[in-house]
Amino acid sequence: MLDLGLKDPDSPLPFLFHALSLSVMCLFVVEIALKIYAYQLEFFTHKGDVFDAVVVIVCFCLDAAYLHSHDAHAGTGFLIVLRLWRVMHIQRALISQIKIAGAKKLEQEKEKRHQAEQEIERYRAHIYAKEAYIKLLQELLRKNDISYIEYRNPSDSTSIQLSAEVTPE
């Protein structure tokens, strides 16, 4: 399927790339160890994570075992396929985390909107009560024949038009 044979067997590049691959695999092994430490037994309930751990450990062991072997480079196609699966797993995890963060942000924005709407309703009720009180005082002034400058409502408090502009970030 994959021909990974070398045209120049004395080239130091395969060893260099193999050592680089082994160092990246070390990071993946550390990640798996930290996941097991963090999630403990719950880690083993997720089949994808367990399979991912097996892939990482198998690739790490094979990379370490064949570090100085030039013959093993031609048969590493399977390792490449497993690593591609690992990359796809990481990509899926990133997309999942982005979706979760987006949903959380959306919920926060919905809550803020709900709170703002409640605050507007409180202000409307407060304005309505103040206007009713002003009318009551004006009526009292009229009854007692006291001159005053009549208060005129600048707008109907029940028909305040609100608009909001949403700008993408």
pLDDT in single tens digits along all 169 residues of the chain: 334 455 555 667 666 777 777 788 888 889 899 999 998 899 898 887 888 888 888 878 877 777 666 555 555 566 666 677 777 877 888 898 999 999 999 999 999 999 999 999 999 999 999 999 999 999 999 999 888 787 676 665 455 565 656 566 5
Cα separation, 80 vs 152, in Å, equals 79
The packing angle between helices 13-39 and 47-65, to 10°, is 150
Distances (CA, A) of 58 to 21, 22, 55: 13, 12, 5
- The phi, psi pair for 98, rounded to 5°, reads -65, -40
Distances (CA, A) of 145 to 74, 103, 110, 141: 107, 63, 52, 6
Q: Which pLDDT value is given to residue 150?
A: 77
